[in-house]
Amino acid sequence: MTRESLKNKKERVRRIYEILDPLYTREKTALEYRTPFQLLIATILSAQCTDKQVNQVTKTLFEKYKKPEDYLKVPAAELEEDIRPTGFFRNKAKSVRGCSQGLLDFYGGEVPQSMEEMLKLPGVGRKTANCVLGAAFDVPGVVVDTHVKRLALRLGLTENQDPDKIEKDIGELLPTERWRRFSDILIYHGREVCKARKPDHDQCAVRELCPSKGI
């Protein structure tokens, strides 16, 4: 199989973007939050969990825990119980407490606005950082979650499995100002059409631009 040139790939991505962009909502996240700190906590809780379920939990959680200190002054088991319905609650509680401690230690309790600073927080990886920076501060970034990874591979935008490499590969194909929106578009398209188990090629608006339409 001949390798697609970067120029062709960029043009294909431009067309995919133009076709899918009008089909999906422009809301940056379905997670409910009022402050960057709340968004950071909600994003940590959203791993392997639906946004709807996270919103249900954070409705009461954010009443009880308002500042990073609040997550640290309760016993770990109490926080675990409070976030239990989001799944993987022990690990998530550890991340929430770790990142709360990091915010207090490094940034006076405020959420920082750069990738470099975010990655110093325990429990915060590039995906979480990109979600928060993009939605709360409009910092451009490619969010690579499970949908983006799957679609990037199916659409032939990367050959890598590693999310950090996929982020870089996608980033090279689009202008910076489109990074965030393109991630969102792929997430919506992945949830609604290009599903993990059964991609609906027949209903896919970018079928003609996809090398995997026959899988």
Least CB distance to ligand SF4 at residue 165 (A):
20
Task: Single out the segment in contact with ligand SF4 by CB under 6 A; choices: 53-61, 107-115, 122-130, 200-208.
Answer: 200-208
- Is 145 catalytic? The answer is yes
Of the candidates 82, 92, 145, 169, the residue annotated as catalytic is 145
Place of tokens 């950082």: 129
Q: How far is CA 53 from CA 83, 120, 128, 137, 193, in A?
A: 10, 28, 18, 24, 22
Contact flag: residue 204 with ligand SF4 (CB under 6 A):
yes
Contact, 194 vs 150, CB < 8 A?
yes
* Residue 203 DSSP label: G
State in Å, rounded, how far the first CA of the chain is from the last one: 16
Per CB under 6 A, the list member of 137, 193, 196, 198 interacting with ligand SF4 is 193
Distance between CA atoms of residues 7 and 19, nearest Å: 19
21 is an interface residue for ligand SF4 by CB under 6 A: no
Sign of CA dihedral 151, 157, 158, 163: negative
Which lies closer to ligand SF4 via its Cβ, residue 120 or residue 154?
154
Of 28, 94, 168, 213, the one binding ligand SF4 (CB under 6 A) is: 213
CB of 60 or CB of 203, closer to ligand SF4: 203
Residues of the shown chain interacting with ligand SF4 in the complex, contacts defined by CB under 6 A: 154-155, 193-194, 199-201, 204, 206-207, 210, 212-213
